[in-house]
Copies of this chain bind each other. A is one copy, B any other.
């Protein structure tokens, strides 16, 4: 068997056994673009082998998405098939596991009226709100994987020919997800243990604040009482351990909604809604974004921040050492799944309930009271680099180095 074919099978198996950790007689729901058909078929086989009852695939197509943005009337972006949103809720209630496969062209919606994109994101975000609550409170097993599309591969490796572009991006994905190793499942066990060590260290410390310093960045982030750092695999409502992102190199928690002050600068391009935002900075006062700049994609950034009230606040603080397997590839993926796992990052928008003690059992109001932000959106953006220093500030005001020159300081 070719190496590619072997790795692809291991990758599919990883997604099924480690990503969603499929259980006997469980339904697996797969969201995938047509470009990922080969991977999806392998995922289905691996899922049935692992005892899945049913594999339900919801396909989508980048070309059709673009055709719609180019040709449909404005009203089309105000509608969402609510029966499908209800279907997702129903499948989540019935204990299905969810796998999303991303393959998007980072420039898919370049040149499209940002108003239309914002409208579509708002409509979809609202419609899928209840399903998203299931996922973000870890009630269900869910995972995000990637598969190259031609357009994405061309963006990452512009100098290679078409065939090389695809195989280079596949190789990078296999490497980043450890699918190229002899025994990826064992490797992920070890990796999850390493992340757990960091999580335990941080949860023992109970830092009151984090202080970020780098070129263009001087930011203080307060952490709420009862915040929890999490990373690697975690249990769903029924106790099955799943890994929500493959790759994942981050440990993360929720910031105190109104406890963010200062300015932070991006260090990698952000692909959002089919457009790139590059070299941007955000300024916060009492948690709220009060000013922002962007060299590229300012309009897109603006629509993102103005999605709703909660998109003016942060919902995630994530620590990733600069010296990580993904960032060592030196590849800019133009895809958040990879770029966020090569870099310290923050997220605009909704916080994860699992990042608060008892959070997954809290009501929306209780979460808000505990300091967790709520929004229909959640978008990570990268702020890490080889230069960033981060201090942890204790309850008593004492400071200690957490990151130095982009890497863990302990």
Contact = CB atoms under 8 A, between A and B. Distances in A.
Interface of A: 25, 34, 37, 40-41, 44-45, 48-49, 52-57, 59, 61, 63-64, 67-68, 71-73, 75-76, 79, 81, 83-84, 86-87, 90-91
A318 to B, nearest CB: 34
A208 B86 CA distance: 50
Contact of A64 (B57, B79, B90): B57
Nearest to A89: B83
A25 B59 contact: no
Contacts of A48: 67-68, 71-72
Copies of this chain present: 2
Interface centre among A44, A45, A55, A64 (most CB of B within 10 A): A64
Contact of A76 (B40, B54, B90, B91): B54
9 contacts: A25-B75, A41-B67, A53-B73, A54-B79, A56-B81, A57-B61, A59-B61, A81-B87, A86-B86
Given A41-B63, A54-B68, 14 more contacts: A34-B59, A40-B61, A41-B61, A44-B68, A44-B71, A45-B71, A52-B72, A53-B73, A54-B72, A54-B76, A55-B72, A59-B61, A83-B87, A86-B86
A40 B68 CA distance: 13
Nearest to A58: B59
Given A34-B59, A87-B87, A90-B83, A44 B67 contact: yes
Contacts of A61: 37, 40-41, 57, 59
Nearest to A73: B53
A34 to B, nearest CB: 6
Contacts of A41: 61, 63-64, 67
A42 to B, nearest CB: 10
Secondary structure dominating the interface of A: helix
Given A45-B71, A68-B55, A83 B81 contact: no
Nearest to A48: B71
A253 B91 CA distance: 42
Contacts of A59: 34, 59, 61
Given A41-B67, A48-B67, A72 B87 contact: no
A67 B87 CA distance: 23
Contacts of A56: 81
B81 A53 contact: no
A53 B25 contact: no
Contacts of A67: 41, 44-45, 48, 55
A53 B68 contact: no
Nearest to A56: B81
Nearest to A63: B41
Contacts of A86: 83, 86
A64 B40 contact: yes
B64 A55 contact: yes
A83 B25 CA distance: 20
A71 B28 CA distance: 14
Nearest to A59: B59
Given A41-B61, A44-B67, A25 B73 contact: yes
Contacts of A91: 81
Contacts of A53: 72-73, 75-76, 79
A390 B71 CA distance: 51
A44 B68 CA distance: 8
Nearest to A52: B72
